[in-house]
Structure 1
Amino acid sequence: MPMLNSSLPLAGVRVLDLSRILAGPWCGMVLADMGAEVIKVEHPGRGDDTRDWGLRVGKTETAYFNSVNRNKRSVTLDLQTPEGQQIARDLAKQCDVVIQNFKFGGIDKLGLGYEQLSKEQPGLIYCSISGYDRTGPEAARPGYDLVVQGEAGLMALNGEASQPPLKFGVAMVDLFTGMYSAQAVLAALYQREKTGKGRHVEMALFDCGLMITAYYGLEALLMGEDPPRYGNSHPSIVPYGVFDAADGPLVITVGNNAQFARFCTEVIERPDLAADERFKTNILRSANRAVLLPELHAELAKRQRADLLTKLSASGIPCGEVLGLLEALNSRRATDAGLVTTQPHPVAGKVNVLAPPYRFDGERLPVRSAPPQLGEGTHEVLQSLLGLSDDRLAQLKTSGVV
């Protein structure tokens, strides 16, 4: 039986999502997944930029847009008009959280900045997402994931050592910034329960990008230089990475010395490697990886992937296939977990929507609604929250405000 809305963790919390593209909408979707009512405000004519990115779904959505806007309502407002700005302010008064990622200073010109809204709503949680530190000299610089991947050193640590710096396959900085932002909003909501006071949460893509360099970042500081790049191998554990069997790639993660001994004797039948003093410990294996890895690659290339996976599992060594993305989405593992759902769509008939990854008390949080068509909730939301009449809404639509 699907989880009832009232039993969701953030049931009763209302969010006004004034953000667009990826980091801000991802933050809003996390809150929506957990039960918050999220009202996404978009321009009446074009909507969020991502409605025009990637593969089309229906008339107003794309796969890109859908990936970050499930469980939301869409309300169209032209925020460049005084009427649209006033409606947004009125909506904010009905909300617990506001999310925005306008260019620096842009939101204040609309009368929707934190200082402006918090005067009437001291309990408001307001999340501003920017490219760079809002108190620093680059506050006005626009933030783009790919630019920050380069500036934060992420591209420099990704890829093979023999190749140029490489971006991540997805917009990692945007996604992590969205997740960090959602965490900060949740912390502010928790604190408000105790103090009654709101907070201004300020997040920057560069800050989050630098944070996810993690142990690579700390190693660079210790060494005083960039750590080497290892591609699909681990920087400090050997053997640990992607290897080619005779019929396809697999991941092998030998995490300790006992596993290495079993790997050599039980999986590839090379007890001489386990006995070699150069490979007795992980530190030694890492130091001598240039000697060890060619031997392992040669042995693994002689064997079938399925046989290797069976032996590795029997030996207690973590392993897995390297699947294509479509294979992974259609896998039994994803199907059994309910991670890919099919939702009804008024134009396309049906649409695939990934399910939230969270489980509470053993139950996955539900997809309550597919990503919204542009403006699908405008009439209902403005009428129910602000009491606007049918005539008034018709006037606003005629004038292009909604």
Structure 2
Amino acid sequence: MRPLEDVRIIALEQYGAGPFGSVHLADLGAQVIKIEDPRTGGDIGRYVPPYVHGEDSLFYETFNRNKQSLSLDISTAAGREVFEDLVRTSDAVWSNLRGDVPAKIGIRYADLAHLNPAIVCCSLTGFGMTGPRQNEPGYDYVLQGIAGWMSLTGDPDGPPTKTGLSLVDFSSGFVAALSLLAGLHAARRDGVGGDCDVSLYDTAVSLLTYPATWAMTAGYEPVRTVDSAHPSLVPFQAFQAADGWLVVGCAKEKFWQRLVAVLERPDLGDDERFASFALRDRNRDELLPHLKAAFAANTLGHWLPLLQAAGVPSSPINDVGQALADPQAAARGLLLETEHPHWGTVKQVGSPVRFGPQRTDHRRAPHRNEHQDDVTTLLGYSPDKVAALAAAGAFGK
């Protein structure tokens, strides 16, 4: 059995952060049943451009493999009945909605414990279910701004800049998955579930990590750096070679000594101004012109083999295609394929979460309401019961 094959999760999820978090749980074997609101066409991720066909997009395919879909209008009495029957037979309710919505639609532990005392309710919201920003919508870009990320990113002479990926969304998905697994462990140990109140805001602020410690403890004022340089480790940044860019990092003193040997600049290694982390940081304006001139004098094909042979942390700055073509990606099982009736073979990256043998039987993301029969059979509903629920608007109109 896969690690989570005995776990059933009801997911009221949409867009990126929630589906990203739960796709890793699905990859680990959890049965993830997406509850899609028929009034809005289901998960809005289905319609994200540019690669869209009807109710399916490659964006949606990325975050929803190995899941099931049920169209269910839980605002109706009939839809709520089906939802509550699912709660009785499931381990967790997973959602990513605005902070005030879980209470409004009744999906917190306090709302569901009478149905299943061991249910774990994981709510991933923009700002959390408490605090003055509780009712505000939260999106990755907004959170990168409010949490200070953009003030740290970009060129010093340019505008504040967001990261190239939705890292608040994705990091929050991982945090929610970790929180859910902790809740499931406690529920199975104690027989009592509870709430996981996770937010994009909490995740984004927590990821400020050591710059936050420096700022609060020592009055540090972060600034954006040239060439994506580390704020204190020198050298640790991008350098331009004759035909492209590379990253070189000296996070240990031994790497600095190896670097000056590769560059054939023993004089830099012997220079007292550059003899330690602190001194290289203090004298970076004197040191970096030497390093930039050295790297600019030759090609990536010259420098990278020498740096790697010497054990100096380094890499080319790849584009996306180059990154995916690296043999390491295939060797680590990070590239997977699913078959789709419109898109054909969908190639995508897999989960980095590891335990036991890797999964190879990935299923495409579900069509909307594709698994109604499976779910109603799971709940033991007769055909007449299903028809009555449908007539009452449980599955939309």
What amino acid is aligned across from residue 249 of structure 2 in structure 1?
Answer: T
Aligned counterparts of 2:345 and 2:124: Cα–Cα separation in 1: 33
Aligned residue for 2:235? Answer: 239
1:359-385 CA-partner distances (Å, limit 9, x unpaired) = 324x32445312222221122222233
AA partner of residue 9 (structure 2): V
Q: Within 1, Cα distance between the matches of 2:280 and 2:113? A: 58
Residues 122-141 of structure 1: matches in 2 within 5 Å? 122-141=117-136
- TM-score for both structures, normalised by structure 2: 0.93
Conserved in 1, the CA contact under 8 Å of 2:242 and 2:297?
A: yes
Structure 2 residue 65 is the aligned partner of structure 1 residue 70: yes
What SS does the corresponding residue of 2:379 show, helix, strand or coil? helix
The aligned residue for residue 114 of structure 1 is 109
Q: Which structure 2 residues correspond to residues 2-401 of structure 1 after superposition, within 5 A?
A: 7-44=1-38, 46-56=41-51, 58-230=53-225, 232-265=228-261, 267-361=262-356, 363-366=357-360, 368-389=362-383, 392-393=386-387, 396=390, 401=395
Counterpart secondary structure, 1:387: coil
1:75–1:374 CA contact under 8 A, matched in 2? yes
Q: CA RMSD in A?
A: 2.1
Q: Secondary structure at the match of 2:9?
A: strand
TM-score by length of 1: 0.92
8 Å Cα contact 2:338/2:362 also seen in 1:
no
What secondary structure sits across from 1:39 in the alignment? strand
Instruction: Please give the alpha-carbon distance, in whole angstroms, between the structure 2 residues aligned to 1:153 and 1:185.
Output: 27
In 1: Cα distance, 2:111 partner to 2:352 partner: 36
CA contact (8 A) 1:59 1:347 kept: no
Q: 1 CA distance for matches of 2:136 and 2:353? A: 34
Distance 1:63 1:188, change over 3 A: same
1:242/1:249 contact within 8 Å kept = yes
State the alpha-carbon separation in 2 of the partners of residues 37 and 217 from structure 1: 38
Aligned-residue sequence identity (percent) comes to: 34
AA of the residue aligned to 2:27: D
Q: Equivalents in 1 of 2:389, 2:176: separation in Å? A: 37
Q: Is the CA contact 1:85–1:110 (under 8 Å) kept in the aligned structure 2?
A: no
Deviates more, 1:379-388 or 1:184-193: 379-388
CA distance in 1, matches of 2:351, 2:234: 34
How far did residue 101 of structure 1 move? 2.7
Is the Cα–Cα contact under 8 Å of residues 383 and 389 in structure 1 kept in the other structure?
no
Find the aligned partners of 1:98 and 1:290 in 2 and give their Cα distance: 54
